[in-house]
Amino acid sequence: MRLRHIKGCEDFITDAKECIREDKAIALKGNIQDIFEEKRPLQIEIGMGKGQFIRNMAMRYQNINFIGIEKYESVLMKAIQRKRNLETEKSIDNLRFLCADAKKLSEIFEVGEVDKIFLNFSDPWPKDRHANRRLTSPDFLNIYDIILKKDGVIEFKTDNVGLFEYSLEVVKDSKWKLDFCSFDFHSEKESEENIMTEYEEKFSGQGNKICKMIISR
């Protein structure tokens, strides 16, 4: 689906105090937490969309810093606006945004700087020739291996069974190990504390089963 461009989104993102662009983030490598008021454990969501998941995570876990990563400026603009709408009563000071391509993450984050990575309803890139663009491809797992702490984990959710099965095969053939796996996550007891994304609410409301895996090294 083609994303609708919002006029002025580029300037909005550049001026947003809650957001940092890729070039400035690269220049901050090793000190990325300077964008927060306080240094805390760091968790990131790659391809956060409009930010419902990471926004609610930040409000629930105020002892953790969260960075929502999104390369599409029009989508990122909406995420920032929604955060601001919620801050009329209380600031969400442990949430920041990064406008960047996931391919650049090892240039932005220091080795072992990230405690946890969330991949939620990533683009499935269904054509075989685009497999290396999938956020669970071997190339991306290699990037995560660099920036994730040795005891860190990756949590991946999707409603796309084909993408999930592909991801399981990638994990099986890698140094990563499967800590949790379900083709019907919402039926599991582990889902009791689950925070849903916009897509998760939509797809599960349509009767689609949600798949989830957690991997570590």
Catalytic residue from among 23, 34, 123, 184 = 123
Question: Looking at residues 163-185, what average pLDDT do you find?
Answer: 98
In a domain, 148, yes or no: yes
CA 6, 10, 11 angle in degrees (round to 5)?
115
In a domain, 98, yes or no: yes
In a domain, 200, yes or no: yes
Question: Looking at residues 144-162, what average pLDDT do you find?
Answer: 98
Residue 181 confidence (pLDDT) above 80: yes
pTM for this model (two decimals): 0.95
Whole-number pLDDT of residue 4: 73
CATH number at residue 89: 3.40.50.150
In a domain, 83, yes or no: yes
Q: Which residues are annotated as a binding site?
A: 45, 70, 101, 123, 127, 159, 197-200
23 labelled catalytic: no
Domain that includes residue 99, residue range: 9-216
Q: Which residues contact 164 (CB under 8 A, 6 or more apart)?
A: 158, 183, 211, 213
Chain segment 63-92, per-residue pLDDT in tens: 999 999 999 999 999 999 999 999 877 789
In a domain, 162, yes or no: yes
Q: Which residues are annotated as a binding site for S-adenosyl-L-methionine?
A: 45, 70, 101, 123
In a domain, 4, yes or no: no
pLDDT tier at 3, thresholds 50, 70, 90: low
Chain segment 14-69, per-residue pLDDT in tens: 999 999 999 999 999 999 999 999 999 999 999 999 999 999 999 999 999 999 99
In a domain, 1, yes or no: no
Give the number of domains in the chain: 1
In a domain, 3, yes or no: no
Residue 2 confidence (pLDDT) above 60: no
DSSP assignment of 124-139: ---SGGGGGGSTTSHH
